[in-house]
Structure 1
């Protein structure tokens, strides 16, 4: 099969022939249909986060099950599926207490003594990225890294649910538990931020403020439910949010991955408000609450992958799309073939696009 392989940090991905193993027990072979281009992959490609090489990035995907290994019970050949990087074992402490997105069990990966799931034509093993490696014509994953969805759901849109929407919407529904009438500020209007804006509208938030430096992204946020938008480059951005919400917001969600945007997320909170950080900041960076923030009851939390229970959450998000509540069409900037993957990442580095989607021939 063809795949986009990262051989060296900071270098363009190379389209190469890759061999994929037959499904072992609890494994699922998926014919990839669409993959979203996410900034999280860029962190590994540019070397901000380390990863074993060579590897195939890509983790926001949808496709069709081609084959299954022994003991697979959750999907069968022909099923349309969305993948999710937060593969779970199902019986560790995190899983049995309902925190599936925190599972780090090695059981969802092949043991080191076994042959790899992916290898190059010359026999070199490929390190699977984030349990998926989706920039490829096929994916071989653990059965708890995918979930079957309604076959009437367009797979080009379903792919976005695998990361951007699960993370952004999950931050609203699961991590922050936004209640009807509460105020929300979303810092950053890429795919994750726009999903959070849309979810805040679905949750019935009273005011939804979106902050971003790009006018086109602020316009998209308004289409998805933002009641107010603010230019992030203005010195008065925080003051504008505090003024329009009469004292700050109940929930602020950071969807960029920069220390400055995380600081903004804390500053726009009202007394007792909660800041949720979603973006992948460089390792070693810190986000803090001041002594006065603590005295005023403010809270700071992470929200890994939207605190998802993806076997339940993803089908519900699909249903939201089919009922016209979740607007995935607005989030997609462009669809392109695998051969243009490096162009997609160049666009992402410039920060002007929301979500590009790599599509594969049927």
Structure 2
């Protein structure tokens, strides 16, 4: 029988999250229903409010970073049972498509309907409804809800002794930032790395850069609070703007510049990318992780400089990670004291306070706000 669940939805973009009661379908084959424990307030869901991201379906229930407990399992769905603890991955991994066959599980074809909110295999099939109207699920999961139904390709089972509140963070922000440094930036021991923007993603790029062996990790953010937090997570130096960071990086590398720059600005523009390219040495890498406006194009970079100095701009989604590999691995590191998770959480909110959480994010008072469910 379908159940009722409170959830935060957005009816239009630009718009603002509001709490409503939805009807949630029972899980079908290869699906589970999960009672949420916590959901991170990732900047990507704020892009829905501002209109930077244009959705393929409205209304949409937000949230794509969360963890909880399985309450129902669809028929003929082996490997899961009621009571399992799970973390959601906003990127599904089918293991069968062309991308997955190459080992690029973060580029799985089933992620095509992420901004439509339907089932991956049927653009007309939805699991949430409001007064008879279909409601999309952000990334096919929607963690801004007390209960949600999702495909098992987007669910990773975890040990029950791991706190779910902290585990929620490894669904998006932690692996995205961490992998941007450890997988995509080519960091080696002794490197100098710049991280532009140290919010919920960038702070984990700082963690990842130090773990990869960088000797100098330079955090760039205009907000003093974030610069202070970055140093707690491994930054060796911090600056308010990229020009200062670039000058410093050049001063300690005989004028060469940083080995890599990771761009994790909340609303990334071409100008940010151009600044990052100017900050790296010959043969260096810029990792572009922060999301900008979908309609914006153009990067002010000289093709001559790119060719003659052999610089590289590398896009990165989910830090280049495989969800079903990186989530358990990061949680093992957390248990071993090698990864900070609870320290990321700045403030807890109720479901009714999602919009306020994003206002706080814009005010620069949060590294990561989270919604905690009773």
TM-score range, shorter chain: over 0.9
> Does the 8 A contact of 2:218 with 2:245 survive in 1?
no
Given the alignment, which residue of 331, 335, 349 partners 1:322? 335
Of stretches 210-219 and 176-185 in structure 1, the one that deviates more from structure 2 is 176-185
Question: What is the CA distance between 1:201 and its match in structure 2?
Answer: 1.3
> Does the 8 A contact of 2:246 with 2:258 survive in 1?
no
Q: Is 1:204 aligned to residue 213 of structure 2?
A: yes
Work out the CA distance in 2 between the residues paired with 1:276 and 1:72: 38
Q: Is 1:43 aligned to residue 53 of structure 2?
A: no
| Moved >3 Å (runs of 4+) | 234-237
Aligned to 2:140: 131
Unaligned runs of 5+ in 1: none
Cα separation, partners in 2 of 1:57 and 1:92, compared to 1, 3 Å: same
Cα deviation digits, residues 97-136 of structure 1 (max 9, x gap): 111111123696252454x21101x111101211211100
Given the alignment, which residue of 82, 85, 95 partners 2:87? 82
> Any idea what SS the aligned residue of 1:286 has?
coil
Q: Is 1:272 aligned to residue 283 of structure 2?
A: yes
> Any idea what SS the aligned residue of 1:23 has?
coil
Work out the CA distance in 2 between the residues paired with 1:134 and 1:314: 17
Q: Is 1:140 aligned to residue 149 of structure 2?
A: yes
Question: What is the CA distance between 1:295 and its match in structure 2?
Answer: 0.9
Query: What's the TM-score, normalizing by structure 1?
Result: 0.94
Q: Aligned ranges for residues 224-263 of structure 1 at < 5 Å?
A: 224-232=233-241, 235-246=243-254, 247-256=256-265, 257-259=267-269, 260-263=271-274
Work out the CA distance in 2 between the residues paired with 1:328 and 1:265: 28
> Does the 8 A contact of 1:58 with 1:134 survive in 2?
yes
Question: What is the CA distance between 1:34 and its match in structure 2?
Answer: 0.4
Tell me the number of residue pairs that the alignment of Structure 1 and Structure 2 aligns: 358
What RMSD in Å do the two structures reach over aligned CA positions? 1.8
Aligned to 1:282: 293
Work out the CA distance in 2 between the residues paired with 1:245 and 1:157: 38
Question: What is the CA distance between 1:346 and its match in structure 2?
Answer: 0.8
Work out the CA distance in 2 between the residues paired with 1:299 and 1:151: 42
Q: Is 1:58 aligned to residue 63 of structure 2?
A: yes
Query: What's the TM-score, normalizing by structure 2?
Result: 0.91
